[in-house]
Amino acid sequence: MIEDETAIEPAHPDERRSGDAVAPAHLSADVTALLDVLAGGGVAIAPLDVAYAILAATPQGIRRIFDAKQRSYDKPSGMFANHEISAALHILPDDRHAMVSEMVEAVGLPFSVVAPFREEHPFLAKVDPFVLQSSSKAGTLDMLLNAGQMHDEIARQAWARQMPVFGSSANLSLSGSKYRLEDVDERVRAAADIGFDYGLSQYANHQGRSSTIIDFRDFSVIRVGVRFGQLRQAFMDRFDVTLRT
């Protein structure tokens, strides 16, 4: 049996958390600045509810991330997305797209969807082949959904710009997720041109977990992540689907 993780508590009562409300104009300006850096070939560190993440949109940016993390190219990056982007790009039956939408809107927990995708879609038309190759595997694309206010705004603005954004946890490979900007490994922080500190990640935990990754073709779990027990129960209660670990 897989138990839910044990939460990391704030260091002090007033410590900010990534889920704390941010003024829409402030959030929009932060994400615009972040995407401007990525569009110019740069790298950014962003606060997500699941963990701090490191992002890029160009070949030079992706290479810097993999080098800094000492990450194998056999482990692809994921795309920052929302359920509308997943519905447009992922090749899945209508009922599974409906599941994704309901899980995002009604359950509200973060997870990643893995499924075959429409490589010819206009949203991906300008993505460098190297970037797409390093962000997909065996014809599937991993899209992170519902990972907090900055994540959702990045996905929204990326779609508006028609500029996909890719990334992974801001940590040395296999070292566990980081939940405060100050805890991100120096080598990884040094690779970023811009970073944002929104405090402690909402789902910070002692097990080092990030998002749960689910292959929606057969509901196999590629990675157990935060609030997995709640996710698994929601799939069972709402859709009579068992997540296969």
pTM: 0.96
- Tell me the three-class secondary structure of the chain, residue by residue: CCCCCCECCCCCCCCCECCCCCCHHHHHHHHHHHHHHHHCCCCEEEECCCCEEEEECCHHHHHHHHHHHCCCCCCCCEEECCHHHHHHHECCCHHHHHHHHHHHHHHCCCEEEEEEECCCCHHHCCCCHHHHHCCEECCEEEEEECCCHHHHHHHHHHHHHCCCCEEEECCCCCCCCCCCHHHCCHHHHHCCCEECCCCECCCCECCCCCCCEEECCCCEEEECCCCHHHHHHHHHHHHCCCCEC
Q: Residue 79 falls within a domain, yes or no?
A: yes
68 pLDDT above the threshold of 80: yes
Average pLDDT score over residue span 34-40: 98
Q: Residue 72 falls within a domain, yes or no?
A: yes
Q: Residue 154 falls within a domain, yes or no?
A: yes
- Report the CATH number at residue 67: 3.90.870.10
The residue segments making up the domain with residue 134 are 24-239
Domain count, the chain: 1
Q: At 49, is the pLDDT very low, low, confident or very high (cuts 50, 70, 90)?
A: very high
Tens digit of pLDDT for each residue in 193-234?
Answer: 999 999 999 999 999 999 999 999 999 999 999 999 999 999
Tens digit of pLDDT for each residue in 106-146?
Answer: 999 999 999 999 999 999 999 999 999 999 999 999 999 99
Q: Residue 181 falls within a domain, yes or no?
A: yes
